Amino acid sequence: MLTGKKTPVAIAGVSLLVFFLAVYAPERIGTRFDDAYMYIRYSENFISGHGFAWNISEVPAYGITSPLFLFFITALKSIFHAGAPVLLSITSLSASIVRWK
């Protein structure tokens, strides 16, 4: 539970995030971190029933450096069906918020 000075900051941050996602993001969001797109490919193959494989015709290959991030993206992608740029931006922002102390 947030207390003290962090509560208004958290409320402002969540409000700005909601505003950003509702107004700004749909037309302008894009990612420049192309390495993150490999997580999308692994998660799409997993959701399609091919396991965590880079190519669906091959056996599963674990070339991911952060399995926890892969599971997070896979879970969100299976729930929200968001496009890759939006999904990667949201997961990166969420991971940075969780890390914030």
For residues 37 and 7, state if they share a domain: no
For residues 56 and 76, state if they share a domain: yes
For residues 41 and 83, state if they share a domain: yes
Full residue range of the structural domain in which residue 19 is found:
1-29
For residues 44 and 56, state if they share a domain: yes
For residues 43 and 58, state if they share a domain: yes
d(CA 1, CA 57): 47
Q: Evaluate whether 87 touches 36 at the Cβ level (below 8 Å).
A: no
d(CA 13, CA 1): 15
pLDDT confidence of residue 81: 76
For residues 18 and 48, state if they share a domain: no
pLDDT confidence of residue 25: 60
Please check the confidence at residue 23 and state whether its pLDDT lies above 80.
no
pLDDT in tens, 42-99: 989 889 988 888 888 877 777 788 888 888 888 888 888 778 887 887 777 777 776 6
